[in-house]
Structure 1
Amino acid sequence: MFDTMTLTKILGGFAGAFLVFLLGKFVAEELYHANVGGHDGEVVQGYLIDTGSDTGGSEEAAGPAFDEVYATADAGKGERVFNKCKACHKLEKGENSTGPYLYNVVGRPVDTATNYNYSGALEKVVDVWTPEHLQEFLENPAGYAPGTAMGFAGLNKVEDRANVIAYLATFSE
């Protein structure tokens, strides 16, 4: 019933199907991503769907301003929000992980965590991590500092951003 040739044909069929799927994945990546204008292996999106112009200002109309929310921010709630950050960041001074340590980050100059290799994208945008700069960065890291190595999508709610910044401010010298 099953001889060596049948088994070889079945194994060859699976290997061939795997190679076809692997080739399809490679073609799809080349189609939708290109290293255009990038440096240091940075991948820039090659195909972008235009959804219309961004008029701006709609965020402020949708909710309160960051300054108002930050004035009443709750560090206890920020500690719960920080759980999303714990995968890549630590709060102990000098304890880098995938990302730099965040001890004393509020008010600290950008790209100054010891023994951490930064991408250099943040230096082009900001000098010091003020609460306002942190708020903008945490909303959309890739949009705020194009080329940053931080792969986090961001925090959508202004309350979450204010609370986590208030929590980070408690870890200072």
Structure 2
Amino acid sequence: MFDTMTFTKIAASLCGALLVLLLGKWAADELYHVNGHGDQAYVIDTGVDESAEEVVEVAFADVFAAADAGAGARVFRQCSACHKLEEGEHAVGPSLYGVVGREVDGTDYGSYSGALEEVADVWTPEHLNGFLENPRGYAPGTSMGYNGLRDVEDRANLIAYLQSVVN
């Protein structure tokens, strides 16, 4: 009914079909790949200025003044994989209970990297903002393996939430 030769033919036909598919993809990429052969021959004027839009840099203090701690609770879910909010209860990272206004190595966590102590003494909202934006860029050599929060509103909301947990 289903012998070894039949199974071998089915497997070989599947491999052959895959090979033909990959060969076809390679040929299509070679035929239709555009490497940018110079400037556009004709530019249609639409009346819209496509020059670089001016990006307005908003001061962190202004964003932090309008921060929403409720939205920060949702952002904290990312942090909760490594940090706890209970006082003295550590996980992979130190407890974040009372972190705003606390000394950088102000808990009994024990394995703080020296990189953090070099950039700040106390976790002010401004220091937390810089650290949360890009931990490795703000404190080179830090052991925190998080890539950072790019959105300034998310950072402000998270810091407001961490500040409200203690109060």
TM-score w.r.t. structure 2 length? 0.65
Alignment of 1:78-117 (within 5 A): 78-117=72-111
> Do residues 121 (structure 1) and 115 (structure 2) align?
yes
Q: Counterpart of 1:144?
A: 138
Return the alpha-carbon distance in structure 1 between the equivalents of residues 55 and 105 of structure 2: 33
Return the alpha-carbon distance in structure 2 between the equivalents of residues 128 and 170 of structure 1: 17
What letter corresponds to residue 111 of structure 1 in structure 2?
D
Deviations along 1:25-69, one digit per CA (max 9) or x if unpaired, are xxxxxxxxxxxxxxxxxxxxxxxxxxxxxxxxxxx9444211111
Identity of aligned residues (%): 63
> Any gaps of 5 or more consecutive residues in structure 1?
1-59
Number of aligned pairs? 114
**Alignment equivalent of 1:73, drawn from 67, 74, 90:** 67
Q: Counterpart of 2:154?
A: 160
What letter corresponds to residue 134 of structure 1 in structure 2?
L
Deviations along 1:72-116, one digit per CA (max 9) or x if unpaired, are 100000000000000000000000100000000000011111133
Deviation at 1:119, TM superposition (A): 1.4
Give the structure with higher Rg (CA). Answer: 2
Runs of 4 or more consecutive aligned structure 1 residues displaced over 3 Å after TM superposition: 60-63
TM-score w.r.t. structure 1 length? 0.63
Return the alpha-carbon distance in structure 1 between the equivalents of residues 84 and 66 of structure 2: 25
> Any gaps of 5 or more consecutive residues in structure 2?
1-53
RMSD: 1.5
Higher relative contact order by CA 8 Å / sep ≥ 6: 1 or 2?
2
Deviations along 1:120-158, one digit per CA (max 9) or x if unpaired, are 110011000000000000000000001100000000000
Contact conserved, 1:106 with 1:172, CA < 8 A, in 2?
no
